[in-house]
Amino acid sequence: MLKLNLSAKAALLNLIASTHGYRACWSERNAANFDQIMDLIIAAATRSVEPPRDPKYGDVWAVVDPQTDNEVAFRVCVGFRTLLTLLDVLSKEERDLMPERPVWYSLVLTSDPAYQALIPDFDRLFIPKPQHVNLLIEVLMAVNEPGYGRGYYGFGDSGVGKTSTASWLFAVLGYAVISFNCKANMEVEELFIRVLPTPHVDAPEKEVKGGAAAQALNRLAAATEKNNWSQSYGPLLEAVLHNVPFVVDELDLAPPELLPAINNLLERRNFAVAGFKDRFVRAGSGFKFFAFGNTGFLGDLSGNYQGRSSFDASFADRLYIDCYEDLKKEDYLKIINRNFDGTRLTREIKECFASFAAMLVASKNEGKLQQSLSPRALTALIRLYLSNADYYKYPLMYALGVTMGCLIDPACRETVFNVFTLSFAPLEIQSSCDVMYAERDALLQSDAA
């Protein structure tokens, strides 16, 4: 979790103090006694499972886990842009584009390591788009009324920063979230109740030759014979029970039965769960549904799983639908500058890499390619190029050959090489792409000798 420095702690303490009628007199010097001062403020905090309505800047909320009745976090209401400044996140120009709207920031967390493990790690190199952050905050801060709750669905091509934006926001705010990736042929039951084979207490598990797979089959056979099974809660049920946000990726692959369940949970209606001890659940306002995928609703946009989506109008009516557009050259250039500041990459080479990535996306949209370079793949390509510049004769083509698997196909290779030639023309590379690709594994003469 991100940490506040002393001056930032003093600023927050003064904000809390002024809200509760105390004189704002804490400075960086006495903010060193942060824990002792916070004990006084926490005593005045609103202790509840549900977030307070209409919070004011400086309000403090003691977050209670409904399953344990323990306080898991103490959150203070602060302006989002102000919080980014206090945490020293993003540049000033980037912060100025972010909304200054109230958010709950986890100032103090429980010592429970299981809870802390649910808070995403912060990625300082990631630059989120303000419009997506704003809508995520809108959903996160809303108090869902029965019958009127709304979730969030962000879609776009792979690598444009969909789930990364949500993880970035939750890491900044210090929110515990539960995540899940949908997969082909999954069953909706595994999101709620998982049934697992358990060895019989009176019959020790037999040793079976054949490794882990054979042991698993033996355990399954024994459980079936003895009718001895154990249950565990799935990720969606855990999120509902603990009243925390639920993030699901690859929603395109979700089974159709999941959608009515989400509709009921968003609207805070009783939802029956087979095998659950309390028979039904009802989501609190702390439960939020954030989903991401590649395919747009109603088949309007193509995606990796087009034709697999089970979305319908009823489900869409309960979600904010946020389209993540393809990255432009300037977006790739920001990513390159942030990841490779201080390296041997010149400004000219950075421009070439940014143009190359943007033109590959355009070629993919025109149907000429099935693969482009995501920001993750682009940074991997550049790192590989830099780390092998002193070893390979053509390090750039060596890096490209192992980063873009589609180059094995001659048609793909021709398209990529045309884009490469145009993008890297300012470098005046003498050798042709075909020659460099054919000799991409050739070492420098000094190393070969």
Whether the Cβ atoms of residue 102 and residue 294 lie closer than 8 Å to each other: no
Quick check: 197 pLDDT over 90?
no
Task: Specify the pLDDT at position 133.
Answer: 98
Axis-axis angle for helices 34-42, 6-19 (nearest 10): 20
Task: Specify the pLDDT at position 368.
Answer: 92
pLDDT class of 224 with cuts at 50, 70, 90: low
Quick check: 128 pLDDT over 90?
yes
Task: Specify the pLDDT at position 220.
Answer: 59
> What torsion do the CA atoms of 113, 114, 118, 119 make, to the nearest 10 degrees?
-20
Nearest to 61 by CA among 80, 78, 48, 79: 48
Spatial distance between the Cα atoms of 94 and 97, rounded to a whole number of angstroms: 6
- Stated pTM of the model: 0.86
DSSP string of 50-101, one letter each residue: SPPSS--TT-EEEEE-TTT--EEEEEEEEEHHHHHHHHT-S-HHHHHTS---
Task: Specify the pLDDT at position 448.
Answer: 44
Which residue is listed with tokens 């420098």? Answer: 444
Task: Specify the pLDDT at position 297.
Answer: 63
Q: Which residues pair with 154 in a beta bridge?
A: 292, 322
Average pLDDT, the chain: 85
Joined together, the tokens standing for residue 277 give 């001890």
Task: Specify the pLDDT at position 204.
Answer: 53
Distance (Å) of CA 329 to CA 222, 357, 366, 378: 59, 7, 17, 12
Spatial distance between the Cα atoms of 321 and 303, rounded to a whole number of angstroms: 15
Quick check: 311 pLDDT over 50?
yes
Q: Which residues pair with 71 in a beta bridge?
A: 64
Specify the higher pLDDT residue, 443 or 224.
443
Task: Specify the pLDDT at position 28.
Answer: 65
Axis-axis angle for helices 6-19, 80-87 (nearest 10): 150
CATH number of 118-192+234-325: 3.40.50.300
Quick check: 301 pLDDT over 80?
no
pLDDT class of 255 with cuts at 50, 70, 90: confident
Joined together, the tokens standing for residue 101 give 């709207």
Percent of the chain with pLDDT over 70: 85
Joined together, the tokens standing for residue 251 give 């929603």
pLDDT class of 34 with cuts at 50, 70, 90: confident
Task: Specify the pLDDT at position 19.
Answer: 79
**Mean pLDDT of the 178-190 span:** 88
Which residue is listed with tokens 């042991």? Answer: 215
pLDDT tens-digit readout, 374-428: 899 999 999 999 999 999 999 999 999 999 988 989 999 999 999 999 999 998 8
**Mean pLDDT of the 32-55 span:** 81
Which residue is listed with tokens 């709750």? Answer: 149
Domain ranges of the chain: 1-79+92-109, 118-192+234-325, 329-448
pLDDT class of 66 with cuts at 50, 70, 90: very high
**Mean pLDDT of the 218-230 span:** 61
**Mean pLDDT of the 219-235 span:** 68
Task: Specify the pLDDT at position 299.
Answer: 47
Spatial distance between the Cα atoms of 102 and 105, rounded to a whole number of angstroms: 9
Joined together, the tokens standing for residue 178 give 């539960």
**Mean pLDDT of the 21-36 span:** 68
Spatial distance between the Cα atoms of 131 and 99, rounded to a whole number of angstroms: 9
DSSP state of 119: S
pLDDT class of 228 with cuts at 50, 70, 90: low
Quick check: 298 pLDDT over 60?
no
DSSP string of 188-252, one letter each residue: GGGGTEEEEE---TTSPPPP-SSHHHHHHHHHHHHHHHHT-EEEEE-HHHHHHHHT--EEEE-GG
**Mean pLDDT of the 232-239 span:** 90
> Residue 122 burial by CB count (10 A; 0-12/13-18/19+): exposed, middle or buried?
middle
Specify the higher pLDDT residue, 210 or 243.
243
Task: Specify the pLDDT at position 15.
Answer: 85
